[in-house]
Amino acid sequence: MVTPSPDCNDLKDRFASANQSGDGVKIEIQNLTASFSNHGALDNVNLSIVSNEILSVIGPANSGKTTLLRTLNRLNDLTQSFQMTGRVLLDGRDIYKEYDPVILRRKVGVIFALPMPLPMTVFENIVYGLRRQGVNDRKKLSRIAEKALTDAYLWDEVKDRLEEEAPKLSGGQQQRLCIARTLALNPDVILFDEPCSGLDPISTAKIEEAMMKLKSQYTIVLVTNNTKQAARVGDRTAFFLMGKLIEVGETAKLFTAPTDSRTEGYISGRFG
The 3-class secondary structure across 243-269, one letter per residue, is CEEEEEEEHHHHHHCCCCHHHHHHHCC
**Contact indicator for 6, 30 with CB cutoff of 8 Å:** yes
Please state the rounded mean pLDDT for residues 87-100: 97
Residue 3 covered by a domain? no
What stretches of the chain adopt beta strand conformation (E)?
Answer: 25-36, 39-50, 54-58, 82-90, 93-94, 108-111, 189-193, 219-223, 236-241, 244-250
pLDDT tens-digit map of 194-243: 999 989 999 999 999 999 999 999 999 999 999 999 999 999 999 999 99
Residue 131 covered by a domain? yes
Residue 129 covered by a domain? yes
Residue 2 covered by a domain? no
CATH classification of the domain holding 238 = 3.40.50.300
Phi/psi of residue 191, nearest 5 degrees: -100, 130
Number of domains comprising the chain: 1
| Strands lying side by side in the sheet with 108-111 | 108-111, 189-193, 219-223, 54-58, 236-241, 244-250
pLDDT tens-digit map of 5-60: 334 334 334 433 444 334 599 999 999 999 999 899 999 999 999 999 999 999 99
Instruction: Supply the range of the domain harboring residue 106.
Output: 8-267
Instruction: Identify the CA nearest to 142 among candidates 119, 171, 113, 122.
Output: 122
Q: d(Cα 148, Cα 183) in Å, to the nearest integer?
A: 6
Q: pTM higher than 0.75 for the full model?
A: yes
Residue 163 covered by a domain? yes
Residue 61 covered by a domain? yes
Residue 272 covered by a domain? no
pLDDT at 102: 92
Phi/psi of residue 258, nearest 5 degrees: -65, 150
Strand-pair partners of 191: 110, 221
Please state the rounded mean pLDDT for residues 71-97: 96
Measure the CA angle with vertex 51, ends 1 and 68; round to 5°.
35
Residue 229 covered by a domain? yes
